[in-house]
């Protein structure tokens, strides 16, 4: 069974950094791209970024709204993907979801989602 479990959310002061983790299981981690989405309270989802599988160089793509502040990485040994976000702003508040693409090797339709972790950026 495919499972994705996010952690690391909470209340963070503006200007600080955060690192979210997504522990995965139930599939061949190295073969899949993984993405992060977020959803501000009462609004629709927003794609934040993704990291390709090692087969495709583990390269990343990021949304313009976070491009200068974000880093997504993956640890093949623990099947974990990370999101690091610097210089947090109040508009970064929301539920952050870790997702996996539907099929390996750059399918890029994301059909497995974690339960999400809530990040609140507030003084």
| Contact positions vs another protein (CB under 8 A) | 37, 44-47, 61, 63-64, 97, 102, 108-111, 113-116
Q: Which residue, 31 or 76, is less far from another protein as judged by CB? A: 31
Least distance from C-beta 123 to another protein, angstroms?
Answer: 27
Least distance from C-beta 13 to another protein, angstroms?
Answer: 27
Q: Which residue, 75 or 107, is less far from another protein as judged by CB? A: 107
Least distance from C-beta 108 to another protein, angstroms?
Answer: 5
> Which residue bears the tokens 């009462």?
42
What is the spatial distance between Cα 28 and Cα 48, in angstroms, rounded to a whole number? 23
Whether residue 111 contacts residue 1, with contact meaning beta carbons closer than 8 Å, is answered with no
- At residue 56, the 3 state secondary structure works out as helix
Work out the number of other CB atoms within 10 angstroms of the CB of residue 72: 22
């Amino acid at each position: 069974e495919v499972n994705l479990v996010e952690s690391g959310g909470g209340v963070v002061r503006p200007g600080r950094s955060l690192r979210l983790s997504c522990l995965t299981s139930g599939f061949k981690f190295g073969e899949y791209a993984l993405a992060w989405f977020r959803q501000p309270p009462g609004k629709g989802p927003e794609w934040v970024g993704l990291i390709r599988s090692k087969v495709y160089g583990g390269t990343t793509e990021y949304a313009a709204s976070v491009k200068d502040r974000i880093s997504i990485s993956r640890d093949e040994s623990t099947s974990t993907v990370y999101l690091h976000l610097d210089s947090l702003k109040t508009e970064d508040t929301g539920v952050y979801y870790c997702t996996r693409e539907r099929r390996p090797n750059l399918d890029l339709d994301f059909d497995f989602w974690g339960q999400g972790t809530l990040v609140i950026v507030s003084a």
